[in-house]
């Protein structure tokens, strides 16, 4: 539109400004009619006009969309009213059936709730019984462990007593070997006396009349009777161990105490002379 206007304006201007004569045109001064400014103003007007048209188009679209939304809302309201009217116009028979259905549901709900409460009560009773049984089991286990400990202790005491009795019996048996009638004979003839050695399994044999210079001088040895084979642990005066071993070998072989008593006296007499 601005282009057409400019074209017609330029044509009319060219017609009005056609030269009458060469001399007049050359004599006229240069005049600026402001066509550039006019062209710029026309371009701005065109831009504002186009923006106005675009804004109007958008407003029309928005109003159309709003109208459609209003129509849809009205339709929804109409449907809601129809639904309400339908519900209000429901027959009394339907209402009675619905009420009956509600009552049936309430009865079932109540029955179900009672069943749940009963099951919960039974569960609590079972848990209580289980806890009681568990406590009884723990008590029984503790009692069993205590009894086991007491039994083990009693068995240990019995074993200790039996061992002590066996040891005492062995000692008595070892000592009874010397309880023969001839023991008194050898005690008298060998100038011998028997004493305790401070241990249950030892006997001390003391000799006199061995030293010709001093008949009261004593010589002694300790005999160990804890095992089957006898052994001599200590003696005074000291005697070579090899000689003592020979006497012990004869004793353990013959099992005759007189062999030991006579053999040890001979060794003491020999030791006194040296």
- Measured distance CA(15)–CA(112) in Å, rounded: 108
Q: Where are the alpha helices (DSSP H) in the chain?
A: 2-16, 22-27, 35-88, 92-176, 182-189, 241-254, 257-273
Question: Which helix (H) or strand (E) element contains residue 236?
Answer: strand 231-236
Report the half-sphere exposure of 222 (CA within 13 A, side-chain side). 11
Domain boundaries, the chain: 105-176, 180-273
Q: Which CATH superfamily is domain 180-273 in?
A: Chromosome segregation protein Spc25 (3.30.457.50)
As beta bridge partners, residue 224 has: 202, 231
Q: Please say if the pLDDT value at position 35 is more than 80.
A: no
Proportion of the chain above pLDDT 70, given as a percent: 78
Kindly report, residue by residue over 221-257, the tens digit of the pLDDT.
Answer: 888 887 778 888 888 888 888 888 888 888 888 888 8
Q: List all residues 6 or more positions away from 86 whose beta carbon is below 8 Å from its beta carbon.
A: none
Task: Judge contact between 248 and 260, C-beta under 8 A.
Answer: yes
Question: CB-based burial of residue 205 (10 Å sphere; 0-12 exposed, 13-18 middle, 19+ buried)?
Answer: buried
- pTM for this predicted structure: 0.34
- Measured distance CA(145)–CA(140) in Å, rounded: 8
Q: How are beta strands 231-236 and 202-207 bridged, if at all?
A: unpaired
Dmax (CA) of the chain = 200
Question: Which helix (H) or strand (E) element contains residue 196?
Answer: strand 192-196
Kindly report, residue by residue over 134-185, the tens digit of the pLDDT.
Answer: 888 888 888 888 888 889 898 898 988 888 878 766 655 655 555 556 667 7
Number of residues that this document lists for the chain: 274
């Amino acid at each position: 539109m601005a282009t057409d206007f400019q074209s017609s304006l330029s044509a009319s201007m060219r017609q009005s400004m056609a030269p009458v004569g060469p001399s007049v045109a050359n004599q006229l001064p240069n005049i600026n009619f402001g066509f550039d400014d006019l062209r710029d103003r026309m371009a701005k007007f065109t831009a504002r006009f186009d923006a106005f048209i675009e804004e109007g188009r958008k407003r029309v679209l928005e109003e159309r969309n709003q109208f459609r939304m209003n129509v849809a809302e009205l339709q929804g309201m109409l449907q809601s009213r129809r639904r309400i009217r339908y519900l209000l116009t429901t027959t009394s028979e339907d209402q009675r059936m619905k009420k009956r259905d509600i009552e049936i549901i309430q009865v079932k709900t109540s029955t179900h709730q009672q069943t749940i409460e009963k099951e919960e009560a039974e569960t609590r009773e079972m848990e209580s019984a289980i806890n009681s049984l568990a406590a009884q089991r723990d008590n029984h286990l503790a009692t069993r462990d205590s009894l086991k400990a007491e039994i083990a202790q009693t068995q240990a005491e019995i074993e200790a007593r039996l061992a002590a009795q066996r040891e005492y019996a062995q000692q008595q048996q070892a000592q009874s070997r010397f309880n023969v009638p001839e023991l008194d004979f050898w005690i008298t003839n060998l100038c011998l006396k028997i004493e305790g050695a401070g241990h249950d399994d030892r006997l001390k044999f003391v000799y006199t009349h061995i030293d010709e210079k001093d008949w009261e001088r004593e010589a002694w040895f300790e005999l160990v009777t804890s095992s089957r084979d006898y052994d001599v642990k200590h003696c005074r005066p000291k005697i070579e161990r090899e000689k003592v071993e020979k006497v012990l070998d004869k004793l353990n072989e013959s099992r005759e105490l007189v062999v030991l008593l006579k053999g040890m006296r001979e060794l003491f007499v020999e030791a006194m002379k040296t």
